[in-house]
Amino acid sequence: MSIKIHHGPNGSYKTSGAIQDDAVPALKDGRVIITNVRGFTLERAYQVFPDLPNTAEIINLDLESLEDLEKMRTWFQWAPRGAFLIFDETQLLFPKSWREKDLERFDYPGGPEAAHAADRPMSWLDAWTRHRHFNWDIVLTTPNISYIRDDIRMTCEMAYKHSNLAVIGIPGRYKEAQHDAQLNRPPADGTIIEYKRIRKQTFALYQSTATGKTQDTKAGKSLFRSPKLVLLLALLAGTIGFVWYMGPLRTIGAPAAATPADAPGDPAQAPAAPAAVAAPARPAANSFLPPGLVPDGPAAAPVDLNAHPFADR
């Protein structure tokens, strides 16, 4: 049982990512889902996943309805045990401007004893800090994590920062960086980053805009508009082309490979070597002797080894 935050700019796949990664598995487990995500209803869920368990249920509340807004703010006073809650635009549901006095209205009617008898949290803080006791999973989305109240963030296990890769010319994909919920942004080192894509069936589960029409972000520019990147790619392509044109590398001084025209034919038809070309001289048998004991030329007389003063010993 956990509390997670998905945050990032508008159009960074926060809601769709939360539905795909968290809500869909909960649906397939047959859990009760409480949400304010527009259009996320049980009818749509059955159209996408006809084999859902009979216990699956979606309670969809309208953020623009004052009655539904109050129900979302007091969710811990009526949500069934084991429910999965996914709240979109959390900054509007639980304003950061609320003070301690404002939170007193969330105390359970009748006090702690009545809350214990009803098996409910006795206060606002009790609900967020003991959500595991009631088997509640909570997923929150917001454009900026700094909008989330500190008393909620301190109960969260993880936060996930979303970035739409369309801003660098890669449409339909987003980057998700996991980090501590107490931090406003992922640290430079040690951050777990995943590159994801939303499946079509996920988009069919809800309505991402009030008009029903969606389009990818127009912010940012393609990576290929960067002169440095284009120059680097051109240099890399030129290097590969040059190596391919020059052929395989050869060691300096190594004999060149024989071509078919140079290959020897039938030995009987090979022309005789000119008589003037002498066979290479073989090394002298006494070439192992030290300098001075070897004659200078082939006509020199052999050295008499018996002339050595110690030859008779």
Edge-to-edge strands of the sheet including 84-87? 57-60, 32-35, 84-87, 137-142, 3-7, 158-164, 173-179, 192-197
Q: What is the DSSP string of 37-74?
A: -TT--HHHHHHH-TT--TT-EEEE--TT-HHHHHHHHT
Question: Which residues does residue 159 pair with via DSSP β-bridges, in sequence order?
Answer: 5, 179
State the DSSP H helix or E strand holding residue 34, giving kind and residue range, or none if neither: strand 32-35
Looking at the predicted structure, is the pLDDT value of residue 291 above 50? yes
Looking at the predicted structure, is the pLDDT value of residue 217 above 50? no
Kindly state the tokens that stand for 32. Answer: 């009760």
Rounded-to-integer distance, Cα 162 and Cα 241, Å: 39
Closest CA to 206 of 88, 298, 104, 313: 88
Mean pLDDT, residues 61-84 taken together: 97
More reliable by pLDDT, 252 or 118: 118
Chain centroid, CA 139 distance in Å = 21
The letter for the amino acid at 239 is T
Please give the pLDDT value at position 238. 85
Residue 289 lies in a domain: no
CB 63 within 8 A of CB 92: yes
Rounded-to-integer distance, Cα 199 and Cα 213, Å: 17
Please give the pLDDT value at position 235. 84
Rounded-to-integer distance, Cα 142 and Cα 186, Å: 16
Residue 118 lies in a domain: yes
Please give the pLDDT value at position 171. 80
Closest CA to 103 of 85, 133, 128: 128
Domain range for 177: 3-224
- The pTM score is 0.68
Looking at the predicted structure, is the pLDDT value of residue 43 above 60? yes
CA-based end-to-end distance of the chain: 102
Residue 21 lies in a domain: yes
CATH number at residue 81: 3.40.50.300
- The secondary structure of the chain in percent helix, strand, coil, rounded to multiples of 5, reads 35, 15, 50
Could you give the 3-state DSSP secondary structure of residue 51? coil
C-alpha Rg value of the chain to the nearest Å:
41
Beta-carbon neighbour count of residue 107 at 10 Å?
16
Q: Is the dihedral of CA 180, 12, 62, 145 positive or negative?
A: positive
Region of poorest pLDDT, from 59-68, 99-108, 222-231, 255-264: 255-264
Query: How confident is the model over 84-116, as pLDDT tens digits?
Result: 999 999 999 999 999 999 999 999 999 999 999
Residue 260 lies in a domain: no
Query: How confident is the model over 166-176, as pLDDT tens digits?
Result: 877 788 889 99
Residue 12 lies in a domain: yes
Where are the strands (E) in 120-211, listed by range?
A: 137-142, 158-164, 173-179, 192-197
Residue 143 lies in a domain: yes
Q: What is the chain's mean pLDDT, rounded?
A: 83
Looking at the predicted structure, is the pLDDT value of residue 17 above 60? yes
Residue 300 lies in a domain: no
Q: Domain count of the chain?
A: 1
CB 4 within 8 A of CB 22: yes
pLDDT-based confidence at residue 256 (cuts at 50, 70, 90)? low
Please give the pLDDT value at position 53. 96
Greatest mean pLDDT among 144-153, 179-188, 281-290, 299-308: 144-153
Residue 249 lies in a domain: no
CB 94 within 8 A of CB 153: no
Looking at the predicted structure, is the pLDDT value of residue 225 above 60? no
